[in-house]
Structure 1
């Protein structure tokens, strides 16, 4: 796999990741609520999910979801339900952002932050289908495929982490300048965005074979 292929993959991955999706929205809200250090747990969860998704695609799970209406539907509704749950929780929030440097961390563990981001990604069938269509474009079939998938997974995870860190820093800095009413509305906007993503996932259909 050439350096040009890696750079092209990283660029396309960046374009796809920087567009706000569930994990970057969680990075934004985690940075706002808990500060950068605690938000790192969510980023690690999302990065681990990248390796799980790419590994699953390399083993053929993406093809299974593309071929099986039943399993696609199961994963789809799990993902949509979890996103909707997170969206509702944010909509019901009372503005518990990191205002003036005060971290809302008393009743939320780093494990919970980690699992939230991890589960959002691994229960999204779009991720499996996306990687199934995206990754083979950068795989040289004349070379061993496992090392190539591993290299692409590392690159994608690195880009994903960098983008999420940027969103978390943005959220952390924005929270410092928000009054309570502004904190409430920022969380409601993020909650509404997650609900919209849940809705889009709920109506998402497999491509016809």
Structure 2
């Protein structure tokens, strides 16, 4: 990949990662509930989903998903239902004492956070459609494809990790003081629950 084309990819990837969505909401929620450092597990799960999406597009399966209304809407509504489920669970979460919050941060398994991040990004068929529109602009068919897809995938994943961890997860630190009281926890649970449900409804109906 030419350096100028790679720079364009970096710029486009940064703008895309900075656009708020389900991944950003999940990252901020994890950072609040488990702490800044441990939120990386959810971010890594989201990156695994991005790699899967890119592989789907590279293998040509993405075109089949995009052109099949049944497959597209099945994945779309499953993704929307999962986000709404996360939102409802957040709304129903009971406030805890500060000591209990600290304990829950230590006890939530990394795999649980990874899996949640994976499903949040994986159950989004619009990501496949987006990659179908986005990827061809950075791929030169006359050159070997495998190295190009590897560079493209590594660049997108690295950018998204940096943006999610050092922008969205770091931004959540501002709200951590709310988790020290039951009233603050209720406010944050309501806010993030509503955001998850809102994104789920947007995915379902738009």
Distance, in Å, in 2 between the alignment partners of 1:160 and 1:93 is 29
Per-residue deviation at 1:16?
A: 1.3
Distance 1:132 1:163 in 2: 22
**CA apart distance, 1:176:** 3.5
State the match for 2:93 in structure 1. 93
1:37-56 C-alpha deviation (Å, 9 max, x unpaired): 32111111111111111111
Give secondary structure in 1 for the equivalent of 2:140: coil
* Contact in 2 for aligned 1:33/1:172 (Cα 8 Å): no
Residue 194 (str. 1) matches residue 205 (str. 2): no
Query: Alpha carbons of 1:70 and 1:177: their partners in 2 closer, same or farther (altered >3 Å)?
Result: closer
Q: Normalised by the size of structure 2, how large is the TM-score?
A: 0.90
Cross-structure match for 1:183: 185
Distance in 2, matches of 1:62 and 1:162, equals 26
Pair 1:61–1:111, CA change in 2 (3 A): same
Q: Deviations over 1:101-149 (max 9, x none)?
A: 8353365311111100001111110111110111111111221222111
Q: Which moved more, 1:164-173 or 1:114-123?
A: 164-173
**Quick check: 1:83–1:195 contact (8 Å CA) kept in 2?**
yes
Higher helix fraction: Structure 1 or Structure 2?
A: 2
Q: CA deviation digits over 1:141-170, x for unaligned, max 9?
A: 221222111111100000110111021122
Q: Residues 1-209 of structure 1 correspond to what in structure 2 (within 5 A)?
A: 1-95=1-95, 102=102, 104-105=104-105, 108-166=108-166, 167-176=168-177, 179-180=180-181, 181-204=183-206
* Cα root mean square deviation, aligned: 2.2
Q: Structure 1 runs of 4+ off > 6 angstroms? A: none
Unaligned stretches of 5+ residues in structure 1 = 205-209
Summarize the Cα distance change of 1:116–1:202 in structure 2 as closer, same or farther, 3 Å threshold. Answer: same
Q: Is the 8 A contact 2:10 2:155 kept in 1?
A: yes
Contact map agreement 1:39 1:168 (CA 8 A) in 2: yes
The separation in 1 between residues aligned to 2:120 and 2:178, in whole angstroms, is 29
CA contact (8 A) 2:79 2:124 kept: yes
- The Cα shift of 1:13 comes to 1.3
Matched residue of 2:39: which SS?
helix
SS in 2 for 1:48: helix
